[in-house]
Amino acid sequence: MSTQVTIIGKQQSEKTKTAIEFQSFLNTNLNIDGSAYSPSRYKYIELICKDYALGFDLMFAYDDPNRRSFGVLYIGHFNDGVVE
């Protein structure tokens, strides 16, 4: 499965080699949880905000565009927006 990456508000640029890194996710209680899946687990990743907090980026990852409510918010490093 190939992951499609979207940068909100910006056209897709040519990909480089520094991959996306998930640090932790926002759980259902709106607390940060340190366990994170690999970005390659998801079909879609959207960059919501670069440098969201303390040098971390805010991203939204999900598998089905028709069921985005099952997606997960992650903080981490978007880097160059590629998935390994």
Q: Is 35 left (phi over 0), alpha (psi -120 to 50) or beta?
A: beta
For the chain, the domain total comes to 1
Task: Please report the pLDDT score of residue 13 as a whole number.
Answer: 59
Residues 8-64 have pLDDT tens digits of 877 665 645 789 999 998 877 777 788 778 999 999 999 999 999 889 999 999 999
Whether residue 52 is contained in a domain is answered as yes
- What average pLDDT does the segment 68-72 reach? 91
Q: Is residue 84 part of a domain?
A: no
Which pLDDT belongs to residue 14? 60
- Give the chain's radius of gyration (CA, Å): 12
- Quote the CA–CA distance of 77 and 81 in Å, as a whole number: 9
Question: Residue 83 falls within a domain, yes or no?
Answer: no
Q: How confident is the model at residue 6 (pLDDT cuts 50, 70, 90)?
A: confident
Q: Which domain holds residue 54?
A: 4-77
Three-state secondary structure call for residue 64: coil
CB 78 within 8 A of CB 47: yes
Asked whether residue 29 is domain-assigned, the answer is: yes
